[in-house]
C-alpha cells in the first residue's frame, strides 16, 4: 500500500483516503464520492480495529461484509481497496500508543476508556501507510474527527482532514453500521435520537433559548422513549474543546450517546 | 522543511536525517558523515526538546551553541540545518503523546518518568517533518534507539533507523554534550563508567563468566570511584527487550547510568 501511494504521489497525483471498518452504508459512500471529486486517486481501507474496542464491546459481532463492501466501493469510484490483516497492523511485539490528551477523555471517551487511543493509533498508522493528500471522515463520529485532526496536526502527518456531513435515513436516524443490530421496534425508537438533537437545536435557535433549556428539551425527548435503556450523555458542547458549552459561544455541538438494548448509538449536530 | 524534503524526494534523492539537541561533538559528527556516505542529502536538526526533560532536570542549563553547531555541520557535509522553535513543535493546544510501552519504563525510563514519551513524540514529529530515507542515532543512547526503532516500525513511518557506534574520548569516556558539565576531577572519575563496562565484558567473554559475576565486577569498579554519587543502574540486559539478561542469551547489552555530582551520565556496550 505504501509503495502504491508513493508511486501515485511521485507522478504528482493527489490521493484521497477513506479509512473504514467496513459494513459500508451510504454515509461511507458519500465520503468516497467526495474524495473522488477532490482527488486523482481514491483509496479506501476496511479494518475492524481491535485496539479501539473495549473488552466488553462488540468487536466480535461487529458486522463484516467484505464482498458487499468491495462492490459498493467499486461502484462509488474507489480505485484502491486496502484490507490489512490484524497481525500486519499489530505484529508481535507491537508496543506503541498514540494518545490525544483531554479530547480523548470526554463524551464517548468517558464511557469507552482507551477507545480514542485505539482510534488515534490506527489512524496514525493508516495515514502513514496510505500517505494521502486528504483523508475523509463522517461527522457522525464527531469526537473522532476532533481527536484525529489534533493528532494529525500534532504529529505533522501532513494530511488534510476533511469532515463530511452525516448521512441520515429518511426518518432522520444517522446511518451507522451498528444500525444493523437494531430490531424493527428499536429502529423506530432510535428516531428519538435525532428528535432530541432537533429539539435542542430549536431551543438554541430561539432568541432567548439557553443551554440548560436545550439540554432539558433533549432529555425529555429521550426520556419518553421506553426502548432507550441508558442515556450516556446528551448535551451542548464547545466543538473545539468538547467541554460543556457556555451560552455566549458561537458554534455549538449538540451531541448524544444512548443505548437501545445492547446497541450503543451516537449522533450530533453543529449549530 | 517538509516542502524541502518533498522536493528532494520528488527528484529521487535519498535523505539522511540526524536529529540532535545541539552542542555537537564528534559523536554527532560521525552520524553526519555516515549519513553523507549513505544518502544524497543530509538534514540535521537542532532542537532541545522540552518534552523529554523532567521538571528537575537540566533543560534550562543544557548546553547550547548554535553558531558552533552550524559551523561543524557545514564542515561535516550537512546540506540542510533545521532549527525549529519550541512554539512551532508544540503550538498552543498541542495534546498528542506517542508512547512505547514496556521499553520506555525500563533502565533510564525508571529514573526519568515521561522521558521516552517525550523522545518518541518529538522523533515521530521530526521524522514526519524531515521525511528521511534513513535516520541516524548514536548507540550511546541505546534505549532511545530501541524505543525509536519500535515507534517508527509500529507507526509505519517508513524510515530506516541506523544506529552508529559510540564515539569515545581517548580515555574511553563516551562523548556526550553533558560532559561539558564535568569539572577536571569529575571527568577523570567518569572514566570509571567505561572501565566498569569493560570489566563486565571481560567476565562475560571468559568461558565460565556468568551475568551475576559480570554485574558485581561492574559494581566494584563503580563503587571504588568516590565522585560517583549514585549508581542508577549497572547491569546486563537483553538488547531487544531491555529486561535482565539470562546467561544463555547470545547478544548482551552491558549498560550503566550514574550521577557524578549533578551530572547524569550513561554508557553501554553490546557484546
> What ipTM goes with this model?
0.96
Is residue B261 helix, strand or coil? coil
Is residue B105 helix, strand or coil? coil
Mean pLDDT, consecutive 10-residue stretches, chain A (271 aa), reads 94 97 98 98 98 96 97 98 98 98 98 98 98 98 98 98 97 97 97 98 94 97 98 97 88 98 97 95
DSSP A38: H
**Cα(B123)–Cα(B161) distance, rounded to whole angstroms?**
11
Distance from the A38 Cα atom to the nearest Cα atom in chain B, whole angstroms: 21
A258 burial (CB, 10 Å; 0-12 / 13-18 / 19+) is buried
Classify domain A177-270 at the CATH class level: alpha beta
Give Dmax (Cα) for chain B. Answer: 58
| CA nearest to A148 within chain B | B96
> The C-alpha cell of B22 is what?
545541539
Same fold across A2-164 and A177-270: no
Which of A2, A11, A45, A96 best tests the B interface by mutation, with the highest count of B CBs <10 A? A96
Interface contacts A/B by beta carbons within 8 Å: 70
Is the CB of A93 less than 8 angstroms away from the CB of B150? yes
Residue B178: what pLDDT? 97
- Where helices occur in B23-161 by DSSP H, the ranges are 26-38, 66-76, 86-89, 108-111, 115-130, 142-154
pLDDT digits (tens, 9 = 90+) for B3-52: 999 999 989 999 999 999 999 999 999 999 999 999 999 999 999 999 99
**Cβ atoms of residues B86 and B50 within 8 Å:** yes
When CB atoms are compared, the residue of A97, A98, A157 closest to B128 is A157
Residues of A in contact with B119 (CB under 8 A): none
**Cβ atoms of residues B13 and B41 within 8 Å:** yes
Residue B130: what pLDDT? 98
User: Which CATH number is B2-164's, of 1.10.10.10, 3.40.50.300, 3.40.50.620, 1.10.3720.10?
Assistant: 3.40.50.620
Question: How many other CB atoms are found less than 10 A from the CB of residue A256?
Answer: 26
Using 50 as the pLDDT threshold, list the residues of chain B that sit under it. Answer: none
Which of B86, B102, B154, B239 best tests the A interface by mutation, with the highest count of A CBs <10 A? B154
Task: Enumerate the β-bridge partners of residue B81.
Answer: B44
Global pTM value:
0.97
Q: Give the domain ranges of chain B.
A: 2-164, 177-270
Residues of B in contact with A100 (CB under 8 A): 95-96
| Residue bearing cell 501532513 | A158
Is residue A27 helix, strand or coil? helix
Task: Enumerate the β-bridge partners of residue B46.
Answer: B20
Is the CB of B150 less than 8 angstroms away from the CB of A97? no
When CB atoms are compared, the residue of A96, A121, A158 closest to B128 is A158
B211 burial (CB, 10 Å; 0-12 / 13-18 / 19+) is buried
Residues of A labelled catalytic: 28
When CB atoms are compared, the residue of B95, B120, B150 closest to A154 is B95
Which of B96, B103, B104 best tests the A interface by mutation, with the highest count of A CBs <10 A? B96
Q: How large is the C-alpha radius of gyration of chain A?
A: 19
B219 burial (CB, 10 Å; 0-12 / 13-18 / 19+) is middle
Task: Enumerate the β-bridge partners of residue A231.
Answer: A258
Amino acid at each position: 500500500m505504501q509503495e502504491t501511494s508513493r508511486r501515485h504521489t511521485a507522478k504528482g497525483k493527489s490521493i484521497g483516503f477513506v479509512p473504514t471498518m467496513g459494513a459500508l452504508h451510504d454515509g461511507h459512500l458519500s465520503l468516497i464520492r467526495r474524495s473522488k471529486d477532490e482527488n486523482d486517486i481514491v483509496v479506501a481501507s476496511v479494518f475492524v480495529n481491535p485496539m479501539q474496542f473495549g473488552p466488553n464491546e462488540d468487536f466480535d459481532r461487529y458486522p463484516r461484509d467484505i464482498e458487499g463492501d468491495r462492490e459498493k466501493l467499486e461502484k462509488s469510484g474507489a480505485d484502491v481497496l486496502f484490507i490489512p490483516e490484524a497481525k500486519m497492523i499489530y505484529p508481535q511485539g507491537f508496543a506503541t500508543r498514540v494518545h490525544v490528551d483531554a479530547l480523548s477523555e470526554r463524551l464517548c471517551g468517558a464511557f469507552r476508556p482507551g477507545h480514542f487511543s485505539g482510534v488515534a493509533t490506527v489512524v496514525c498508522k493508516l495515514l502513514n501507510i496510505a500517505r494521502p493528500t486528504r483523508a475523509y471522515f463522517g461527522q457522525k463520529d464527531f469526537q473522532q474527527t476532533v481527536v484525529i485532526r489534533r493528532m494529525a496536526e500534532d504529529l505533522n502527518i501532513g494530511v488534510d482532514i476533511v469532515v463530511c456531513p452525516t448521512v441520515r435515513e429518511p426518518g432522520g436516524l444517522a446511518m451507522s453500521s451498528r444500525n444493523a443490530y437494531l430490531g424493527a421496534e428499536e429502529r423506530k425508537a432510535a428516531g428519538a435520537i435525532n428528535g432530541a438533537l432537533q429539539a435542542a437545536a430549536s431551543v438554541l435557535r430561539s432568541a432567548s433559548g439557553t443551554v440548560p433549556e436545550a439540554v432539558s428539551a433533549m432529555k425529555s425527548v429521550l426520556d419518553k422513549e421506553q426502548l432507550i435503556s441508558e442515556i450516556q450523555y446528551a448535551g451542548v458542547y464547545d466543538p473545539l474543546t468538547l467541554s460543556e458549552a457556555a451560552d455566549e459561544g458561537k458554534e455549538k455541538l449538540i451531541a448524544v450517546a444512548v443505548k437501545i438494548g445492547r446497541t450503543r448509538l451516537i449522533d450530533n449536530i453543529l449549530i
